[in-house]
Amino acid sequence: MKNDVVRSVCLFTDKPDQKAIERVDSLATRLSDEGFAVQTRRICTPKFELGKTTSEILKSSVLVCIGESSSNDIQKMIQSDQSISFHVDLTSAKIDEAATKPLFDLIRNKPSATFDFAFVFNNAKSSPYFPSAEYERNGFAIGLQPTDLSEGCASLEEWFEKTKESWKRICELFENDPDFLGIDSSVAPLFEGKSSLINFVKRLGMNFSESVTTDTYLRITEFIKKQNPKPIGLCGLMLPCLEDFELAEEYENGNFSIERNVFLSLHCGLGIDTYPIGVDEKPKRVAEILRLVQGLSNKYKKPLSVRFVSDGKAKIGEKTNFKNQYLKDVKVRRL
């Protein structure tokens, strides 16, 4: 069907081998045959050995996430030319400047990998979205790009009905598959136009700044949490600063400060996502933000994450050059 977009079909497996590749390929084919446009095929596995168990998977163009990682894993990935998604769980950690080391190591040594890395708090298992994906058991989960379904909709309710229809079709397609874990109903916007959440907000007659102090985003999150027939993973509102290109424009115009991002994340979102950071930003400032997000996540028992991205060169006040089709280049602001 038009605008039915699957952002991620993700297989969770403890055996990342050729059979896993064939399995995720077959799932993607079933969705395509049903009329869904499948953007990415993914595998999340705890059985990771850099350069060995993942080599055949990476050659297949299947994206890989290993979930929570140690400092040793991170150093290996910095030295590798392979692209692997991963995160560090700070839910119960003492957060000081030392806790920011993984991020700044990546910025200095492999800045492209900041796109594949996040700090997480009270993370939800089995989300098909990277880099938050965390293995809990074998099976597969599906994440959509439901913003595309907003094309032609004059209200949130119209969009909700189209989204429910997509969920229903997926559940019917896999209802007899015991490996089907569910649908992560997170709203994952991308690029511009119909795929951008901010574009939809504007089509509803609001500018972004006005929308922040309405119940718009609360209504969206209530819908995706309560109406999803088979929920799994995060099921929240994503506000990826540089992936939603029209949100990136709001950032450049000063309308998406880190404070506003945290405010929205607290009542409807999933944290700080693809938010630009200058190479000269102070670790102390990042630690302060991480402590705040940790405190809010623990207080409200809410999954939150922090994903800062850098091109390894742009300082505060300079324009980025990510060379990444999923990230819009912007002039970096101080956190």
CATH number, domain at 49? 3.20.70.20
Give the model confidence (pLDDT) of 165-184 as tens digits: 999 999 999 999 999 999 99
Q: How far is CA 87 from CA 6, 52, 78, 296, in A?
A: 23, 20, 14, 19
> Does residue 177 lie within any of the structural domains?
yes
Nearest to 177 by CA among 19, 31, 57: 31
Q: Is residue 223 part of a domain?
A: yes
Asked whether residue 172 is domain-assigned, the answer is yes
Residue 320 falls inside a structural domain: no
Question: For residue 188, is it within any domain?
Answer: yes
Average pLDDT, stretch 301-324?
A: 98
Residue 332 pLDDT greater than 90, yes or no: yes
Least confident window among 72-76, 89-93, 105-109, 274-278: 72-76
Percentage of residues of the chain with pLDDT beyond 90: 88
Strand partners, 308: 275
Tens-place pLDDT, residues 196-252: 999 999 999 999 999 999 999 999 999 999 999 999 999 999 999 999 999 999 999
Q: Which position has the token pair 């800045």?
A: 111
What pLDDT score was predicted for residue 223?
97
Which range of residues forms the domain containing residue 182? 5-237
- Residue-wise pLDDT for 36-75, tens only, equals 999 999 999 987 776 655 556 666 789 999 999 887 778 8
Residue 288's pLDDT is 98
- Percentage of residues in the chain with pLDDT exceeding 70? 96
Radius of gyration of the chain (CA): 19
What average pLDDT does the chain have? 95
Give the total number of structural domains in the chain. Answer: 1
At 90 the pLDDT is 98
Going by the DSSP 8-state scheme, the letter that residue 124 receives in this structure is P
pLDDT of residue 79: 83
Does some domain include residue 282?
Answer: no
The answer to whether position 146 is within a domain reads: yes
257-299 per-position pLDDT tens digit? 999 999 999 888 899 999 999 999 999 999 999 999 999 999 9
The pTM (predicted TM-score) of the whole model is: 0.95
Backbone angles phi, psi at 175, to 5 degrees: -60, -25
**Confidence tier at 110 by pLDDT (50, 70, 90):** very high
Contact predicate 94/62, CB 8 Å:
no
* Three-class DSSP category at 185: coil
What pLDDT, on the 0 to 100 scale, is given for residue 246?
Answer: 98
Look at residue 334 and tell me if it is in a domain: no
Four-residue CA torsion sign, 256, 260, 265, 271 = positive
